[in-house]
Amino acid sequence: MNREILLQKKVFAFSLGCDKNRVDLEHLLYLLKEYGLKLTNNIDEAEIIFINTCAFIEPARVEAIDAILTAINMKKQGIAEKIIVGGCLPQRNLDELKESLPEVDYFIDFKKNNEIINVLENLYDMKQSKVVECTTKRVLTTLPHYAYLKISDGCSNSCAYCAIPRIRGRYRSIPLDDLIKEAKELVTNGVKELILVAQDVTRYGIDIGTNLLELLKELVKIKDLQWIRLHYLYPELVNDELLNFIKNEEKICKYVDIPLQHIDDIVLKNMNRRSSETDLRELIKKLKTKYPEISIRSTFIVGFPGETRKQFKKLCNFLKEAKLDNVGFFPYYREPNTKSYFYKKQIPEYIKRRRLKKIQNLQGDIALFNNITKIGEVHKAIIDYYDEVNNYFIARTEFCSPDVDFCVIIKDEVKVGEFYNVEIVDISPIGYKGVVK
């Protein structure tokens, strides 16, 4: 096949998993587009289907397999010609995947995403192009006014329940100059909010002679970048120097996402977490008293092996005391090739579900109280999109991250992607109600 024929092919991509995975896909899509291939959002017209998989926990793997089966069905119908699977799933059980899914034409190692053009050329029996270097350019799959900036890959924390180090390897920071270049390119193309993501944002630079604060100091210099949001700050490295910078720098959202996971010392130790109950309580107390303007998001795991009713109750009581702004909960998933997989005293699934429901309801009441206290406040908000079904705009304040936190419903005439000062006047089951001031 010659190149002109290949360039007539349309590519559809499944974007699955975390936002770090999303960034990998966006770089890959840029390579495809730059080569001349056509990208489509309609799988029914795609000759090439790329599935960017997640394999962190069982539901993610099920979702990935479902996407692959959908692509295989399109191939059987004679619509799709080639199926390529990338992301994390091939890193966990490649041999099994090749055997059970022979219809997949290629499983690509995420570390070799920059070779995607050569993969396609090989699949279509073409002469190989020169392998391109990794690029900082991307095709955004988010709304055009915000983007995720992945600042590292892998993880070295070795939490007992997590397979990421086995899938992604040890923590590797992306060079600071590359990140600044990528950030500037995103802002030039209309991005106004950057959300920094990594398995552990606070450890950025520890392996390359720099640190998160130095990166932030460079990012805030970028003209037209208005918001910088921080996700996944491990608690032991959240110090006053960082918090003071967040507090005093106008472009840094007053928002921290700190995964605490639990509060009981025995559970934390079994999880192989580095913080103690005392450490976590002192950090939350500091944030609430010294930095009250900073909104706190966190995540917790319920049903970890050996978690007793008393330990679960302690976690519930901690949430009542801490009154965190936004919280996500996950039942423990027994993942192969993790330390906790071999723990005794695994919690039955029905108990996990019961505890999950109870703690979600508890946090729902806490969130309702927190949200009511914001009525009457005026905050800067960005307009994300217009909901045509319900006839209102969806916006976010700096205390709300996309897709995971409470949004703001606005019925005023506003422009998507622009910032407005919005007064919170009421709350609803799906978000705050706001009016433009």
E strand segments, 360-413: 378-387, 392-397, 407-410
Q: Tell me: the pLDDT tens digits for 346-373?
A: 999 999 999 999 999 999 999 999 999 9
Nearest to 141 by CA among 57, 282, 40: 40
Partnered with residue 122 across adjacent β-strands are none
Q: Please indicate, yes or no, whether residues 318 and 193 belong to a single structural domain of this protein.
A: yes
Task: Give the β-pairing of 392-397 and 407-410.
Answer: antiparallel
Burial of 350 (0-12, 13-18, 19+ CB in 10 A): exposed
Question: What's the CATH number where 215 sits?
Answer: 3.80.30.20
pLDDT for the residue 283: 98
Q: Please indicate, yes or no, whether residues 82 and 173 belong to a single structural domain of this protein.
A: no
Q: Please indicate, yes or no, whether residues 344 and 199 belong to a single structural domain of this protein.
A: yes
Q: Please indicate, yes or no, whether residues 111 and 189 belong to a single structural domain of this protein.
A: no
Q: How far apart are CA 223 and CA 209, in angstroms?
A: 26
Alpha carbons within 13 A on the beta-carbon side of 53: 34
Is residue 281 in a domain? yes
Nearest to 434 by CA among 389, 383, 390, 385: 383
Q: Which residues contact 290 (CB under 8 A, 6 or more apart)?
A: 240, 243
Question: How would residue 378 be classed by pLDDT, with cut points 50, 70 and 90?
Answer: very high
pLDDT for the residue 126: 87
Is residue 133 in a domain? no
Nearest to 242 by CA among 212, 205, 220, 221: 212
Question: What's the CATH number where 386 sits?
Answer: 2.40.50.140
Q: DSSP labels for 119-181?
A: HHHHHTT-PPPPPPPP-S-----S-TTEEEEE-EES-----TT--HHHHH-S-EEPPHHHHHH
Q: Please indicate, yes or no, whether residues 225 and 279 belong to a single structural domain of this protein.
A: yes
Is residue 323 in a domain? yes
The last residue of one of the domains, among 372, 391, 421, is 372
pLDDT for the residue 135: 78
Question: What's the CATH number where 73 sits?
Answer: 3.40.50.12160
Is residue 70 in a domain? yes
The last residue of one of the domains, among 342, 372, 402, is 372
Dig out the tokens for 54 from the structure: 């997640």
Is residue 19 in a domain? yes
Q: Please indicate, yes or no, whether residues 213 and 290 belong to a single structural domain of this protein.
A: yes
Strand, helix or coil at 13?
strand
Is residue 140 in a domain? no
Q: Please indicate, yes or no, whether residues 66 and 34 belong to a single structural domain of this protein.
A: yes
Q: Please indicate, yes or no, whether residues 306 and 414 belong to a single structural domain of this protein.
A: no
Q: How far apart are CA 128 and CA 125, in angstroms?
A: 9
State which amino acid sits at residue 308.
T
State which amino acid sits at residue 325.
D
Q: Please indicate, yes or no, whether residues 353 and 386 belong to a single structural domain of this protein.
A: no
pLDDT for 3 beyond 90: no
Dig out the tokens for 90 from the structure: 């091939």
Average pLDDT over residues 224-240: 96
Question: How would residue 416 be classed by pLDDT, with cut points 50, 70 and 90?
Answer: very high
Task: Give the β-pairing of 10-15 and 48-53.
Answer: parallel
Helix 277-289 × helix 240-248 angle, to 10°: 30
SS3 content of the chain, % helix, strand, coil (to 5): 40, 20, 40
Q: Please indicate, yes or no, whether residues 109 and 173 belong to a single structural domain of this protein.
A: no
Q: How far apart are CA 166 and CA 67, in angstroms?
A: 23
Q: Please indicate, yes or no, whether residues 194 and 321 belong to a single structural domain of this protein.
A: yes
Q: pTM of this prediction?
A: 0.95
Is residue 245 in a domain? yes
Q: How far apart are CA 110 and CA 16, in angstroms?
A: 14
Question: How would residue 430 be classed by pLDDT, with cut points 50, 70 and 90?
Answer: confident
Dig out the tokens for 195 from the structure: 């959300």
**Element containing residue 243 per DSSP (H, E):** helix 240-248
pLDDT for the residue 65: 96
Choose the most confident range, by mean pLDDT, from 85-94, 167-176, 423-432: 167-176
**Please, are residues 325 and 295 in contact by the beta-carbon 8 Å criterion?**
yes
pLDDT for the residue 242: 97
Structural domain containing residue 191: 146-372
Is residue 139 in a domain? no
pLDDT for the residue 92: 84
Q: Please indicate, yes or no, whether residues 51 and 192 belong to a single structural domain of this protein.
A: no
Q: Tell me: the pLDDT tens digits for 268-300?
A: 999 999 999 999 999 999 999 999 999 999 999
Question: How would residue 4 be classed by pLDDT, with cut points 50, 70 and 90?
Answer: confident
Average pLDDT over residues 156-182: 95
Alpha carbons within 13 A on the beta-carbon side of 158: 7
Q: How many structural domains compose the chain?
A: 3
Burial of 286 (0-12, 13-18, 19+ CB in 10 A): middle
The CA angle 67-118-121, to the nearest 5 degrees, is 85
pLDDT for the residue 1: 72
Q: Compute how many other C-beta atoms are within 10 angstroms of the C-beta atom of residue 330.
A: 16
